[in-house]
Amino acid sequence: MKVRIKIFAALAILLAGAIVFSPLLAALGGTGLDARHLADAFGSAPRPLVRSIGMAFISGLVSLLWGVPFALLVDRSSPALRRILWSLGLMVLMVPPYIVAEAWIVLLGPVGKISRSLAVLFGLGPHTTDPIELARFSVPGLVFTWPTVGIIMGGCLFPIVALSVASAYRRTDHRVFESARLAQGRRGVFQVAVRILIAPSIGAALLVFAATLTEFAVPQLLRVRTLGELIYEQIQNGDLAAAAALGLSMLPLVVIAGAVGVVVLLRSRSASMAGLEGEVPKFTGATAGPPGQLAACVMAVAAITTALILPIISLTWLTVTAKLPQASSTGMHKLLRASGFFDSLKGAWDLAQNDAIRTVILAGVAALLAVALAVVMARIASSAGWGSSLGALGAGLAVPAPVIGLGLIALWDHGAAAAIYESLVIVLLAWFARFFPLVVFLVQAALARVPRELENAAALAGRGPVERIFTVTLRGAAPGLVAAWLVMYVLSATEFSTTVLITPPGQPLIAPSVVNLMRRGQDPEIAACQFLLLAVVATPLFVIAGTWLARRAFR
């Protein structure tokens, strides 16, 4: 029996490895890559690569500056306030970074809604009262730079650092801080906190660094030429070998940063008392007083401003002003805007309704299949004693999105395999290659929270293996499984970098369609496109919330 379980576990792990790593292997071995392409790539890549590294470094730094104080201040607040502030912080992860980039352009671009007022406030505006000169004045294009890309990505991904720091902080016995305070005062508390939290902070920041290196949509919207854009250009030109060579120059950085980040996060558990006590320590210390609560609120507002408050302001501003007639020029002859926000929303829906419906269904199916496959894999691997081996799938998260798209093209765009390449199955494969390892980790964590003693008790009560899984294991792990489903759904529905490369003709999905509409649209059209995409993201949240409220009402 044990031999059979190990065989099934080996097959499951090999299947998962094939799903995650086959695009990378195909990109490196199936594109005709040779030494000449590598030499050409390394000759043309230095400046875009340096720019990509610079924006990734700023992103990691920004995520540290926002994530660490957010986690520490919010976790020391009262339980009710902590739930509210953490909900706001996690909502940042629900907003696609390219939506945030568009909000920055609308508000802070050269002709942004508030950029002129800020320029005048800081003494950078035009020193004249001439209405013509005022109308011609535009703020320097600081938004369209690679540092801004780093700031936006760091603001969008800071919850990763915050979650890592909060996890380490909660695992730590707070009597350590109290002892340090009694011995050396605030200096001692600071030294202990640095020793405990430095590893999870740096590890999570390295993951943010790796994720930013592979970002394509935000640099494209902000007109920043990065290595990812060069890869896309080569793919569009049909030179897959050159694209693979450029991807190879990016791959070591992403893999090293991601691997070091994961290793540091795993090793950071030794900094807490959890390894000695076997569970979360019971002593957590007192919550902060009113000044601490106020500091937590201020920090939370500051942290979510980049990626949540500014997009909300942008959408609200565009929605309100789109209802008003707007003159295109000064003087006696004025051209009024023909359509307002609701007309634009209707037009965007007419253009992309099939794309939205297709995305909701496909992302929902992808999330369901991913969670189901992850549950089976985690159970089989755990029964065989190989649960830790699934951690190797984490390396797949470091594969850049352009490389995944390139590998899928090389793997499926020929012969009999073209039937898959020309269908939406290729999109499912892309989403699995990018996000399946994350689902596996979340499912493993959810299943680990269900004590095996409950299954043993069910077995003693006469329930069979299948019945035990459905009535005990899956029921106990349901909240974590729902979270894994939501993560896969949101990431898939908003994925742009790979989807734009391999989406079959005539079957577009919402993320590429909305980004293209935003490039061509005016103010109300931009708002309408953003609302359309956010509605797709929020659809399952409304369904889950409605189901939860209905169950509470009928209890």
Q: Which residue has the tokens 């406030």?
A: 121
Exposed/middle/buried for residue 84 (C-beta within 10 Å: 0-12, 13-18, 19+): middle
Proportion of the chain in helix, strand, coil states, percent, rounded to 5:
80, 0, 20
Residue 392: Cβ within 10 Å count: 14
CA distance 20 to 14: 10
The Cβ of residue 546 has, within 10 Å, a number of other Cβ atoms equal to 10
Nearest Cα to 261, choosing from 207, 217, 335, 302?
207
- Write down the pLDDT at residue 156: 93
Considering Cα of 161, then 167, then 168, then 173, what sign does the dihedral take? positive
Sequence ranges of the domains in the chain? 1-30+340-555, 33-109+144-321
Q: Which residue, 532, 542, 549, 546, is CA-closest to 486? A: 542
Q: What does the pLDDT read at residue 123?
A: 65
- DSSP code of 70? H
Q: Do 1-30+340-555 and 33-109+144-321 share a fold? A: yes
**Distance between CA atoms of 154 and 151, rounded to whole angstroms?**
5
Which positions ≥6 away from 271 have C-beta within 8 Å?
168, 172, 195, 196, 199, 200
Look up the pTM and report it: 0.84
For the chain, what is the largest distance between any 2 Cα atoms, rounded to a whole number of angstroms? 88
Per-residue pLDDT tens listing for the chain (555 residues): 567 777 877 888 888 888 888 888 888 777 676 666 666 666 666 788 888 889 999 999 999 999 999 998 998 888 889 889 998 998 898 899 999 998 998 888 877 778 777 766 666 666 666 666 555 556 666 788 889 999 999 999 999 899 888 888 877 777 777 777 777 777 777 777 778 888 888 888 888 888 888 888 888 888 888 877 788 877 777 777 777 777 777 777 777 777 777 667 666 554 333 333 344 444 555 666 788 889 999 999 999 999 999 999 988 888 877 765 444 444 443 333 445 777 777 877 887 888 889 999 999 999 999 999 988 888 888 777 776 777 777 777 778 788 888 888 888 888 778 888 889 999 999 999 989 988 888 888 788 777 766 666 766 666 666 667 777 777 878 888 888 898 899 999 999 888 988 888 888 898 888 888 777 766 777 888 888 888 888 888 777 777 776 776 666
What would the CATH number be for the domain defined by 33-109+144-321?
Answer: 1.10.3720.10
- Can you read off the two tokens belonging to residue 246? 């450029």
C-alpha angle 108-113-152 in degrees, rounded to nearest 5:
25
Q: What Å distances lie between residue 256 and 21, 260, 548, CA to CA?
A: 16, 6, 42
For residue 280, what pLDDT is reported? 45
Name the H helices within 214-289.
217-221, 227-236, 240-267, 274-277
Between the CA of residue 299 and those of 61, 159, 305, 314, 403, what are the distances in Å?
Answer: 16, 13, 10, 21, 37
Identify the CATH number of the domain defined by range 1-30+340-555: 1.10.3720.10
Residue 508 to residue 510: CA distance in whole angstroms: 7
Q: How far is the CA of 455 from the CAs of 6, 381, 465, in angstroms?
A: 21, 17, 9
Question: Per the structure block, which two tokens stand in for 197?
Answer: 């939290």
Cβ atoms of 210 and 258 within 8 Å: the answer is yes
Q: What are phi and psi of 145, to 5 degrees?
A: -140, 160
Pairwise CA distance, residues 235 & 237, whole Å:
5
Number of residues that this document lists for the chain: 555
Alpha-helical (H) ranges within 268-309 are 274-277, 290-304
CB atoms within 10 A of CB 40: 15
Residues contacting 444, CB < 8 A, separation 6+: 374, 378, 387, 390
